[in-house]
Structure 1
Amino acid sequence: MKRNTGFTMMELLIVIVILGLLASLVAPKMFNKQSSSMRKVAKAQMQMFETALDTYRLDMGDYPANIDELRKSDKPNWDGPYLPKNVPLDPWGNPYVYKTPGEDGQPYYLASLGKDGQAGGKEDNADIVHQ
């Protein structure tokens, strides 16, 4: 007599319920980590911009009017490119905000507008301003 060896429907349902419970506990923590990681990436990219901007200023005597001048410019004394690749978008796919002069006497303003791409906001939508 041949006996089929396999899982019963009840065993499969129990495994599915256990996997569902584990997923419901782990998933929110993983999505929270993704959010904080994206903010860290934006901060790291802005630190890279800061280095490139400072190098540009040393060569040119002032900060660029446009952040794209870190890659290409016809100005005399330009010794770039100051970034290895084109200026990236922020982790949410939005362009970084760059203005010169900056606010409160700062030489420039550099920011990511967060997930929503709008000024202001809270949590994931909060602006990340490079100081």
Structure 2
Amino acid sequence: YYLRIAERNNINVKLDVTIPEVLTISSLSLSIIIGNTFDNAIEACCDLPAEQRIIHLQLRKQYRSLFYRLENPYSDTSRGIRIGEYHGYGLKNINRIVQENHGNFYTKKKDGVFTVQVRLNCEN
């Protein structure tokens, strides 16, 4: 779904995904993380010229941890943050999932690049 939206908006998406077929993390939890971060990245990229639009997603399972990292450029002069009844719940939902899985959640803005990193504990 998000790849199609990115393509329609001329956003280059680089995927680096290496995970086993079965994870102990629920598919719902994983889709909340990917969906919220990807949605935010697409919105940020749409405020940039087409040649600057890129999203880099990494997802790896290593030992007993699942690592997720998403990077995208952003503009300080963007349209602004969406305002509405449900604004701000995406990152809160990600934080809830991270806490439930005894993981870590980190965001960073530096040199025009926004980075989200998530580490979740998983047993398989």
TM-score range, shorter chain: 0.3 to 0.5
Higher relative contact order (CA 8 A, sep 6+): 2
For normalisation by structure 2, the TM-score amounts to 0.37
Highest CA radius of gyration, 1 or 2?
1
For normalisation by structure 1, the TM-score amounts to 0.35
**Larger relative helix fraction:** 1
